[in-house]
Structure 1
């Protein structure tokens, strides 16, 4: 009869519980913050895991063979060569262990799918936030409220989104609040939005981008039209300095 270490069995149960908690976190964030849809196998994987988790250490002990131990093995404190207590268990318990491992694989597969979708969302939003931060840089961060929103979104995307040890409901609440503020500043989300709102020429936008890269421009480098466009946009007039 095969031997299975009770500590190992409990460790596998704990791993399954952790996998299930991870799935629940990513699913809630995916649906609540990014309007995502969970994979079709999510419900069945979660149900299988929850059923397997019901197996407790007491269940294992109850199913252990009462007469299958040597005298020194029947005591709870007896150790094998590795220092861990061992128990000889029935084929039924071995089946439970296989079910635990199978359930964990199902949960992990679904979680990996959702994680992939979240990483894609993170990449897209990071690109958008970076574009807005670049524009804020040339404007000298004049809109303090929007600058704070961008900093917060950057932190949520880089530090908190993929941290399943955090609170999913808290992340969803903070992210949705940040997105609401983001949507109130459409003209500051990128150079394209800023250009469209203020009807700027392509040459003026290119000069603005040059300045955003900390490169200097002189009056000889820009046209009169560009200077006039910069002067009529309050954010640019106060942020841009041209050398004589």
Structure 2
């Protein structure tokens, strides 16, 4: 008896083999679609999480270090972002499944000859990404608002610190503790304040300590405070400022009253030098 299969049997076997091969190719295609979609969503989520972390840093610093309330829209932006981030893995996997292809349409070919499957975002994932991007824009808008307020605070404090440093220079830096405080505040303002990669709670703690030290040296904070404490005349203060700018004054330029005022202030007698 012949073992030769009949033509219909051979055809059926070939069709079954082709169907299984096609199913395997389709399965690989669908996996590629899912991976591509999940990767795109995760990338958008990473960007949103980073923006949300930055916002939380700036908000904490503004409120706890400088005592200024964050914009009212902050809470809404945070809630929108948190809702977008709460997508479960099951939901993400479901959204990443493409139902736009049937067995006859699925293909693993590509136009660039790389052999990689051509995959696109599923409608569900595209909608999800749009929501994530919208949430990120809200967060970024609030963050920019708070950043602007913090930059204003930095400018105000930098001006005050610079004035105090100028007075310290005139006095020859005799108060070492206050000089260190000013240097520390300068570093906090220029290096740490606008750096959201750091810890907000650490910055708040450092800043509060620095401000506490600042307040303990009230008379050294500015020329106005120093003038009031030592009852100096305006002319004496102006002469001292002139000397602080490395400009020379002769005895003829300074009145006896001014000299007497300088002599009675601790620090001036040794810090201010005049020549005949």
Shared fold (TM-score greater than 0.5)?
Answer: yes
Structure 1 runs not aligned, ≥5 long: none
Structure 2 residue 83 is the aligned partner of structure 1 residue 51 = yes
Name the residue aligned to 1:65. 98
Structure 2 runs not aligned, ≥5 long: 1-32
Name the residue aligned to 2:6. none
State the alpha-carbon separation in 1 of the partners of residues 183 and 156 from structure 2: 16
Q: Deviations over 1:130-161 (max 9, x none)?
A: 11011111111110000000000001011110
Name the residue aligned to 1:140. 172
Query: Do 1:30 and 1:118's aligned partners in 2 also have CA atoms closer than 8 Å?
Result: yes
Alignment of structure 1 residues 59-98 onto 2, 5 Å? 59-63=91-95, 64-65=97-98, 68=101, 70-72=106-108, 87-98=119-130
Corresponding pairs, count: 238
Name the residue aligned to 1:164. 196
Structure 2 residue 150 is the aligned partner of structure 1 residue 114 = no
Question: 1:179 is matched with which residue: 198, 211, 215?
Answer: 211
Name the residue aligned to 2:224. 192
Structure 2 residue 65 is the aligned partner of structure 1 residue 33 = yes
Query: Do 1:132 and 1:189's aligned partners in 2 also have CA atoms closer than 8 Å?
Result: yes
Change (3 A) 1:228 1:84: farther
* Equivalent position SS for 1:72: coil
State the alpha-carbon separation in 1 of the partners of residues 139 and 247 from structure 2: 51
Question: 1:56: how far off?
Answer: 6.0
Name the residue aligned to 1:19. 51
Name the residue aligned to 1:241. 273
Structure 2 residue 182 is the aligned partner of structure 1 residue 128 = no
Question: 1:65: how far off?
Answer: 1.2
Question: 2:254 is matched with which residue: 186, 204, 222?
Answer: 222
Question: 1:67: how far off?
Answer: 6.8
Question: 1:8: how far off?
Answer: 3.5
What is the TM-score with the length of structure 1 in the denominator? 0.89
Pair member with larger Rg = 2
CA RMSD of aligned residues (A): 2.5
State the alpha-carbon separation in 2 of the partners of residues 242 and 82 from structure 1: 83
State the alpha-carbon separation in 1 of the partners of residues 115 and 206 from structure 2: 47
State the alpha-carbon separation in 1 of the partners of residues 173 and 270 from structure 2: 11
What is the TM-score with the length of structure 2 in the denominator? 0.79
